[in-house]
A and B are shown apart, each in its own frame.
Chain A
Amino acid sequence: MNPVARLFDQRIRGFRVIEVAALACLVLLVFWVYLTKAQAAGERAEIARIEHQIVAEQRKLRLLKAESAHLEQPSRIEQLSEAHLGLAPVEAKRETTPDTLPEIAVNATGGAR
């Protein structure tokens, strides 16, 4: 008897070995498909949750950007700097360039080194 025929003829407690093996494969396959599908559903739920979170964060970010634009607008900063820090635009006579700094330093110290 050739090995293939033997495989088909071999029995355990009245059941053909090949049939038992096929059934086991089938059960395993079904279980694997179930696990994979359940895992995929979980992944999808997680993706949906993260996407919702991204949308919420994006909205929050836009709101914060708008608030920051409102708070940082130049006219408001200027008012605050004048009111609380006493800052004002530098007068032309007090402006200088890096090249003239040594000259200013000499004048400030009266030429002493």
Chain B
Amino acid sequence: MKPSDLRIQPSVPSFRWLAERVWSVEHAFERIKAEGRAEEDTRVRIFFVLAAFSFAFLILAFGATRAAVFSGGARTGGAAVAAASRADLVDRNGMLMAANLVHYGLYIDPDEVWEPADTRRKLMAVLPNISPERLRKAIEGERRAFVVGGLTPQDRERVHALALPGLSFEEEDRRVYPLGVSAGHLIGFTQPDGKGLAGIEQALDKEIQAAGRAGKPVALSVDLRVQAALEDELRATALDQQARGAVGIVTNIRTGEVLGMASWPEFDPNKGGRADPQAQLNRATSAVYEMGSTFKVFTVGIGLDTGAANVNSTFDAQAPLQIGNRKVKDFHGTNRVMTLEDVFIHSSNIGTSRLALAMGQQTMRRYFEQFGLLAPAESELAASRPIVPRKWDENTLASMSFGHAISVTPLSLTAAMGAMLNGGEYVPLTIRKLDPNQRPQGRRVVSEATSRAMLDMMRINVVRGTGSKANAAGLRVGGKTGSANKVVGGRYSDTILVASFASVFPTDGPMDRDRYFVLILVDEPRGSAESMGQRTGGWTAAPAVGRVINRIAPFLDVTRADDPFSTAKGDKIVVEELVTGAGQ
């Protein structure tokens, strides 16, 4: 047989080629036998059989070795490292706000329970929150039944230590909010199956699930230190004023990041949907209010931006403004002709009404739209729609100029105020932590000059206007009070108010610096000894804002400094010094 005979013929099927080769070997044996060399024939046959078996065995040995030694990559044994179904939520500094933890469900198999009465008594002793009725049914039932879920590893250990037969556990993945009521409304909660139902859990549901699969946390814009200070002061104010509800928001107006958001009454997301519905309501995003005089920031700002007025323009507030049958009056009546600055710091309804009427409904509507006041607030959070007037007649325009006839969420007010005070761009609010160098793209609403003028005017309002109680030494606080009468039985009540204070700090420095907006809103304050029986924003919300700013400024790297109105220690600078200072 020549080597060339063993070459595979491409046109011949392989089985025919193999058969030919076998027959050619067989013929070779026959030829040897015919030549009288039978011994050699047998030896060669044995050699061939041995070689074939050795070859087969080597292949098997190679396969076995490969399977035994090099099959580790498939990880056939052992448990995979568990990935959480939802990612951890952390604040902007990495502090944990929500996490999925393994809990245990307790099951009882009645067939294996020896002493039902003893089992019931011992279980009730270590797990006092179990429903006695459910426990009885499980012990006296016919098949294995679930008794209670959400047990911690410590609970499980305590039950294990009882060494009772018939008890078993099954693992369950549960969402846990270790901060309890802190930021409860903002974080929201999930369904038992892990789907986000409210707050951030709902707003970022898909993102949280995707991050959970990747084993990464979701970083929020919230700063827990700011949140804690805000909640503490809001709680103190709400309790002092025996209020129906209260809202607190802190944002960075340059980036739109929400640093703190609180709603009172408080709510523990660990209780989820079982909590009191009134407490579950996040008043910052889901309640709408007529905001009152804080809206004068918009009216005055629009007036400056359109050129309809400048800071020295005068408005006749000597007598109430008559519109049809209605008289617009001033709460802090001065009965004189006022400059625009005076209109703002004395919160003159007559002055802002005259300004709004001068600008007309088209201008007001256009700007209100640009400020996002006619639609739900732009952010990841689900927010309520505002209640806007159907008809924009003179009466409505006058009302809107001082925050009546339009009801918006505190979140909408916050976003719009940010646009007025951050250099003039509407930046959607966000609950995601942004890169420190990132400035989100906004839409221009007012000019930088208007924004600068409003910052100055708000600062002056705190120095010598209705917002003086919000002043925090050296932190250059500016702000505007709001005290809106609520509608009760179809009429504006004289005594039931929504009091608020919208503030910004620091008011000085370049327009592109980080600046912070703080809103405190008190729904139906009743007056207290602390507020001298007063219920207005200047007496109820403004002091709370001052305290919040005092507490959060160090966390936001805002240091105390002099400005033209007061020293870093909070001492007022008198006018003479100002004049001297200006001359230097």
Residue of A nearest to B53 (CB): A22
How far is B472's CA from A48's CA once the two chains are assembled, in angstroms?
A: 60
Q: Is there a chain A Cβ closer than 8 Å to B533's Cβ?
A: no
Question: Is the Cβ of A51 less than 8 Å from the Cβ of B101?
Answer: no
Question: Is the Cβ of B69 less than 8 Å from the Cβ of A36?
Answer: yes
B462: min CB distance to chain A, Å: 15
Question: Is the Cβ of B81 less than 8 Å from the Cβ of A70?
Answer: no
Contacts known (A43-B72, A59-B102, A75-B228); A67 close to B178, Cβ less than 8 A:
yes
Contacts known (A69-B97, A89-B550); A33 close to B178, Cβ less than 8 A:
no
Q: Is there a chain A Cβ closer than 8 Å to B511's Cβ?
A: no
Question: Is the Cβ of B68 less than 8 Å from the Cβ of A37?
Answer: yes
A residues less than 8 Å from B78 (CB atoms): 44, 47-52
Q: Is there a chain A Cβ closer than 8 Å to B581's Cβ?
A: no
Question: Is the Cβ of B65 less than 8 Å from the Cβ of A36?
Answer: yes
How far is B97's CA from A23's CA once the two chains are assembled, in angstroms?
A: 69
Residue of B nearest to A94 (CB): B569
B490: min CB distance to chain A, Å: 41
Task: Convert B66-91 into 0s and 1s, putting 1 for each residue whose CB lies closer than 8 angstroms to a CB of A.
Answer: 00110110011111111000000000
Q: Is there a chain A Cβ closer than 8 Å to B179's Cβ?
A: yes
Query: How many A residues are at the interface, by size bracket?
Result: 35 or more
How far is B64's CA from A70's CA once the two chains are assembled, in angstroms?
A: 54
Interface on chain B toward A: helix, strand, loop, or mixed SS?
A: mixed
Interface on chain A toward B: helix, strand, loop, or mixed SS?
A: helix
Docked complex: B377-405 residues within 8 A CB-CB of A = none
How far is B182's CA from A70's CA once the two chains are assembled, in angstroms?
A: 10
A residues less than 8 Å from B338 (CB atoms): none
Return the contact of A44 from the options B54, B76, B102, B152 (Cβ within 8 A).
B76
Q: Is there a chain A Cβ closer than 8 Å to B231's Cβ?
A: yes
Question: Is the Cβ of B77 less than 8 Å from the Cβ of A55?
Answer: no
Question: Is the Cβ of A48 less than 8 Å from the Cβ of B560?
Answer: no
How far is B474's CA from A35's CA once the two chains are assembled, in angstroms?
A: 79
Question: Is the Cβ of A75 less than 8 Å from the Cβ of B231?
Answer: yes
A90: min CB distance to chain B, Å: 9
Question: Is the Cβ of B225 less than 8 Å from the Cβ of A74?
Answer: yes
Question: Is the Cβ of B473 less than 8 Å from the Cβ of A48?
Answer: no
Task: Convert B466-498 into 0s and 1s, putting 1 for each residue whose CB lies closer than 8 angstroms to a CB of A.
Answer: 000000111000000000000000000000000
Question: Is the Cβ of B81 less than 8 Å from the Cβ of A54?
Answer: yes
Q: Is there a chain B Cβ closer than 8 Å to A26's Cβ?
A: yes
How far is B100's CA from A59's CA once the two chains are assembled, in angstroms?
A: 10
Return the contact of A63 from the options B153, B227, B474 (Cβ within 8 A).
B153
Question: Is the Cβ of A29 less than 8 Å from the Cβ of B61?
Answer: yes
B residues less than 8 Å from A92 (CB atoms): 472-474, 550, 560, 568-570
Question: Is the Cβ of A40 less than 8 Å from the Cβ of B72?
Answer: yes
A85: min CB distance to chain B, Å: 17
B129: min CB distance to chain A, Å: 19
Question: Is the Cβ of A62 less than 8 Å from the Cβ of B101?
Answer: yes
B153: min CB distance to chain A, Å: 7
Q: Is there a chain B Cβ closer than 8 Å to A93's Cβ?
A: yes
Q: Is there a chain A Cβ closer than 8 Å to B99's Cβ?
A: yes
Question: Is the Cβ of B101 less than 8 Å from the Cβ of A59?
Answer: yes
Question: Is the Cβ of B57 less than 8 Å from the Cβ of A26?
Answer: yes
Q: Is there a chain B Cβ closer than 8 Å to A65's Cβ?
A: yes
A9: min CB distance to chain B, Å: 10
A residues less than 8 Å from B224 (CB atoms): 73-74
Docked complex: B135-158 residues within 8 A CB-CB of A = 152-153
Q: Is there a chain A Cβ closer than 8 Å to B96's Cβ?
A: yes
A1: min CB distance to chain B, Å: 13
Q: Is there a chain B Cβ closer than 8 Å to A45's Cβ?
A: yes
Q: Is there a chain A Cβ closer than 8 Å to B527's Cβ?
A: no
Tell which of A44, A51, A62, A67 has the most Cβ of chain B within 10 Å. A62
How far is B551's CA from A59's CA once the two chains are assembled, in angstroms?
A: 36
Contacts known (A62-B99, A65-B99, A89-B550); A55 close to B570, Cβ less than 8 A:
no
How far is B153's CA from A62's CA once the two chains are assembled, in angstroms?
A: 12
Q: Is there a chain B Cβ closer than 8 Å to A99's Cβ?
A: no
How far is B182's CA from A26's CA once the two chains are assembled, in angstroms?
A: 72
How far is B94's CA from A69's CA once the two chains are assembled, in angstroms?
A: 10
How far is B71's CA from A70's CA once the two chains are assembled, in angstroms?
A: 45
Q: Is there a chain A Cβ closer than 8 Å to B176's Cβ?
A: yes
Question: Is the Cβ of A33 less than 8 Å from the Cβ of B65?
Answer: yes
B residues less than 8 Å from A74 (CB atoms): 224-225, 227-229
Return the contact of A33 from the options B64, B96, B228 (Cβ within 8 A).
B64
Q: Is there a chain A Cβ closer than 8 Å to B440's Cβ?
A: no
Question: Is the Cβ of B178 less than 8 Å from the Cβ of A93?
Answer: no
Residue of A nearest to B65 (CB): A33
B residues less than 8 Å from A52 (CB atoms): 78-79
B residues less than 8 Å from A95 (CB atoms): 560, 568
Question: Is the Cβ of B72 less than 8 Å from the Cβ of A89?
Answer: no
A residues less than 8 Å from B61 (CB atoms): 29, 33
Residue of B nearest to A49 (CB): B78
How far is B466's CA from A61's CA once the two chains are assembled, in angstroms?
A: 52
Query: With A59-B101, A75-B231 given, can you name 5 additional A-B contacts, CB distance below 8 Å?
Result: A62-B100, A62-B101, A70-B178, A70-B179, A89-B550
